[in-house]
Amino acid sequence: MQEAKFSGSSDEVRSEDKWSVSGITGMTLVEKRTRSRTPHIEPDLLDQGIAQLRLEIQILNDWLASLEAGETEPRRSYEDMLRSRHEMLVSLEQQRARILTPAPDQPDETSRS
């Protein structure tokens, strides 16, 4: 693997180095600059995450229902976890909706031949 070389005091990367692959990301500088800013997430993975969060939310609700009135510390902890799971669920559902609804300026992937 070729490392980026710096010339003199200008600290500019030589032009041939812009094509070298980074050991950290495995991407060239050109690939990094032209990649999409929104990461591609597999719909199946999102579905699995959504299902898992729904299950965890149900479990937390059951735990909260089983707590006695004096158990304030566990209640606070479970409520915090529940709130966090709800936020993650909303985020994943929004990502899933964006994947299912292509942007108006972009053609649907399934309609290409």
For the segment 45-57, what is each residue's pLDDT rounded down to a tens digit? 999 999 999 999 9
Let me know whether 55 and 85 are in one domain: yes
Shortest CA distance to 16 belongs to which of 25, 7, 5? Answer: 5
How far, in Å, are 26, 43, 54, 94, 99 from residue 50 at the CA level?
Answer: 30, 10, 6, 11, 14
Q: What is the mean pLDDT of residues 98-110?
A: 66
Let me know whether 54 and 19 are in one domain: no
Q: pLDDT at position 103, please?
A: 64
Task: Give pairs for 57-64: CB < 8 Å, separation 24+.
Answer: 57/82, 57/85, 57/86, 57/89, 60/85
Let me know whether 55 and 97 are in one domain: yes
Task: Work out the number of other CB atoms within 10 angstroms of the CB of residue 73.
Answer: 8
How many distinct structural domains can be found in the chain? 2
Let me know whether 97 and 47 are in one domain: yes
Given a cut of 70, is residue 12 above it in pLDDT?
no
Let me know whether 69 and 85 are in one domain: yes
How many Å apart are CA 92 and CA 103, to the nearest integer?
A: 18
| pLDDT > 90 in the chain, percent | 46
Let me know whether 26 and 7 are in one domain: yes
Let me know whether 27 and 49 are in one domain: no
Q: pLDDT at position 99, please?
A: 85
Q: pLDDT at position 101, please?
A: 81
Let me know whether 47 and 98 are in one domain: yes
Residue 9 CA to its chain's centroid (Å): 39
Given a cut of 90, is residue 25 above it in pLDDT?
no
Residue 10, CB-side half-sphere exposure with 13 Å CA sphere: 5
Let me know whether 48 and 97 are in one domain: yes
**What percent helix, strand, coil does the chain show, rounded to 5?**
60, 0, 40
Given a cut of 60, is residue 69 above it in pLDDT?
yes
Domain extent at residue 2: 1-35
Let me know whether 54 and 91 are in one domain: yes
Q: pLDDT at position 55, please?
A: 98
Q: What is the mean pLDDT of residues 85-95?
A: 95
Let me know whether 27 and 70 are in one domain: no
Its pTM stands at 0.57
73, part of any domain: yes
- For the four alpha carbons of 14, 20, 24 and 25, in that order, the dihedral sign comes to positive
